[in-house]
Amino acid sequence: MTQPSRGGEYDVAVIGGGLVGSAMAWGLARAGQTVAMLDEGDIAVRPSRGNFALVWVQGKGLGMPEYAGWTKKSSDDWSGFADLLREQTGLDVAYRRPGGFMPMLSEEDLQARANTMMRLHNQPDMIRYPYEVMDRETLRKELPFIGPDVVGGTYCPLDGHCNSLRLLRTLHKGIGLLGVDYRPNHRVERIEHRDGGFRMTTAGGEVRAGKIVLAAGHDGARLAPMVGLSAPVRPQRGHVIVTEKTAPFLHHPTVYVRQTDEGGVMIGDSFEEVGFDTTLQPGISSAIAERAIRFFPLLGKLNVVRSWAALRVLTPDGFPIYEESKTAPGAFVATCHSGVTLAANHALTLAPLIAAGGLGDSFTPFSARRFHVPQAA
Amino acid sequence: MFRRLPEIETALNAAGHTVSFTIDGRPASARAGDSVTAALLANGVTACRTTPVSGAARGPYCMMGVCFDCLVTIDGTGNRQGCQVRVAPGMAVETQNGKREVER
């Protein structure tokens, strides 16, 4: 990697080297900024290495229609984003948008899901996008391997997926080519705002920058208050199982099960509130494996090669936080749990805005001030 | 490439412990007690599969269940570790081309 060559002075320091930080650093450098990306070491809590790799639209944004629009925009821009990455790095992040399914195992669940989708789309200012509620027979034409317990599901043609480990690797290669100084083992201990700039005390020495972007995931909760921001995130654990590589048979991603570009089948979508604990729980792995087999019985024949647990970065309402500090202008926070889905937005929309100076009014709904409303009596 | 040690060959022949099976549909024979992998090697099959992503040829390496390079399809089930299964009369062993199929 590039050695620090600017005397520790940068236009922007991005704090966090996961998917959000890397996409931001890539976009900032592409917009002509000199950028340092400050990262922890190999043992950092690293959701970017544990996620499920969906680029997902359907169902998101109930309670915040702006988030639905933001998500759809990223999905719409993802194909071009993948093309830019391929042209720059020669690496293919395997983005596909075949449309995705949310299969259901009971009529009650299917009805509840249909109601949720309707309520989502009935919100004022909601961006419209196509989706379908399918009965079992319609679903089976698209997903021929569903088991007898599947009663139907919802489908959205905008949903897709990618190879998210390769996305992280590709972004890191890309920022290297753009001249970003990647600084691992630079955990930020303190941030001071002075003389219109920022001074970071890190495990690897001092770094100074005109602007900073907090993209530190779980560590945002600690760092944001240092510059008058707030990122009240908590870890939510999810388990993932991956099978041996198998000839392609599952041509659409689902929320629970997807087949990767290299053939492995990933099984996921558990939710546990256990703090910073990534210990694998066999009971939970069994439960998600059993559910996956109810969706697709033929998965029962496959061997499992790996399983793990990772920690989602969740805000109190599950929506992202994007905000510039009022008391320390030039300090921005960007945090979300959908670092894959939103990568195109972070790189192509958010980063250029920050490079140009500010977020603008359209980002007001994403401010963390929404969490500071006094509770009604 | 691989040959049995002459004294073992002689002893086994004398005892008549021969097992008939097939490799990719072709008749083949092995000694009772052979692992599938040993039986393949004794029949001159050194590359038993190609890898699922790059398609490179692979052959048995560790012979003790660790390396997973000896994967073959046995009686219709893919990705079996040949070194961990004893060859049996009538067994259908197939070399494996790339990824296993989910239904076999």
Assess B54–A contact: CB distance below 8 Å, yes or no: no
C-beta atoms of A245 and B52 within 8 A: yes
Fold classification of B6-94 (topology level): Ubiquitin-like (UB roll) (3.10.20)
Confidence of residue B36 (pLDDT cuts 50, 70, 90): very high
Given 2.40.30.10, 3.40.50.300, 3.90.1010.10, 3.50.50.60, which CATH number is that of A9-50+165-232+317-369? 3.50.50.60
Residue corresponding to tokens 């560790």: B62
A112, β-bridge pairs: none
Tell me whether B56 touches chain A (CB under 8 Å).
no
- The CA R_g of chain A, rounded to the nearest whole Å, is 21
Domain boundaries, given as residue ranges, for chain B? 6-94
Contact A234, A314 (CB under 8 A): yes
Q: What is the pLDDT of residues A297-350, one digit of tens each?
A: 999 999 999 999 999 999 999 999 999 999 999 999 999 999 999 999 999 999
Residue A275: its H or E element: none
Q: Cα distance from B49 to chain A (closest Cα, Å)?
A: 14
Q: Which numeric CATH code is attached to A96-161+234-314?
A: 3.30.9.10
Instruction: Tell me the ipTM for this assembly.
Output: 0.82
pLDDT at A8: 62
**Tens digits of pLDDT across chain A (377 residues):** 444 444 569 999 999 999 999 999 999 999 999 999 999 998 888 888 889 999 999 999 999 999 999 999 999 999 999 999 999 999 999 999 999 999 999 999 999 999 999 999 999 999 999 999 999 999 999 999 999 999 999 999 999 999 999 999 999 999 999 999 999 999 999 999 998 899 999 999 999 999 999 999 999 999 999 999 999 999 999 999 999 999 999 999 999 999 999 999 999 989 999 999 999 999 999 999 999 999 999 999 999 999 999 999 999 999 999 999 999 999 999 999 999 999 999 999 999 999 999 999 999 999 999 998 766 55
State the helix-helix crossing angle for A164-177 and A65-89, rounded to 10 degrees: 60
Q: Which residues of B touch A303 (CB under 8 A)?
A: 79
Whether residue A251 lies within 8 A of chain B, CB to CB, comes out as no
Residues of A in contact with B65 (CB under 8 A): none
Nearest residue of B to residue A264, measured between CA atoms: B99
Residues of B in contact with A245 (CB under 8 A): 52-53, 99-100
Which residue in A244, A249, A298 is closest to B79 by CB distance? A244
Q: Which residue of A has its CA nearest to B98?
A: A247
> What pLDDT is recorded for position A216?
97
The answer, for A246 touching chain B at a CB cutoff of 8 Å, is yes
Candidates A196, A216, A192; CA nearest to A37 is A216
**A249 in contact with B, Cβ within 8 Å:** yes
Residue of B nearest to A305 (CA): B68
Q: Measure B76 CA to nearest chain A CA, in Å.
A: 12
Nearest chain A residue to B100 by CA: give it: A246
Chain A's closest residue to B54, CA to CA, is: A262
Q: Does A119 touch chain B (CB under 8 A)?
A: no
- CB distance from A245 to chain B under 8 Å? yes
* Residue A372: CB atoms within 10 Å: 9
What pLDDT does residue A3 have?
Answer: 44
- Look at B100 and A299 and tell me if their CB atoms are within 8 Å: no
Residue type, B97: N
Substitution target in A146, A166, A245 with the highest count of B β-carbons within 10 Å is: A245
Kindly report the pTM of this predicted structure. 0.92
Phi, psi (deg, nearest 5) at residue A138 = -65, -45
Nearest chain A residue (CA) to B55:
A262
Contact B52 A262 (CB under 8 A): yes
Q: Do B100 and A245 touch (CB under 8 A)?
A: yes
Query: What's residue A44's pLDDT?
Result: 85
* pLDDT at B2 (0 to 100): 85
CA A46 to CA B93: how far, in whole Å? Answer: 43
Contacts (Cβ under 8 Å, ≥6 apart) of A22? A37, A48, A168, A171, A172, A175
Q: Report how far residue A176's alpha carbon sits from residue A205's, in angstroms, rounded to the nearest whole number.
A: 21
CA distance B13 to B31: 9
The pLDDT of residue B13: 67
What is the Cα–Cα distance from A36 to A175, expressed in whole angstroms? 10
Nearest to A247 among B53, B77, B99 (CB): B99
Q: For residue A166, give the H/E element and its range.
A: helix A164-177
Q: Helix crossing, A164-177 with A19-30: angle to 10°?
A: 30
B79 touches chain A (CB under 8 A): yes
- Cβ–Cβ gap A301/B79 under 8 Å: no
Burial label for A131, CB within 10 Å (0-12, 13-18, 19+), is buried
Whether residue A303 lies within 8 A of chain B, CB to CB, comes out as yes
A247 and B79: CB-CB below 8 Å?
A: no
Query: Does the pLDDT value for residue B11 go beyond 90?
Result: no
**Interchain contact, B102 vs A301, CB within 8 Å:** yes
Q: How far apart (Å, rounded) are the C-alpha atoms in residues A92 and A82?
A: 7
Tell me what pLDDT residue B103 has: 82
Q: Torsion over CA of B3, B6, B9 and B11, rounded to 10 degrees?
A: -160
DSSP-derived pairing of the beta strands A205-214 and A9-15: parallel
Q: Where are the domains of chain A?
A: 9-50+165-232+317-369, 96-161+234-314
Q: What is the pLDDT of residues B57-83, one digit of tens each?
A: 999 999 999 999 999 999 999 999 999
Within 8 A of B100 by CB-CB distance, chain A residues are 244-247
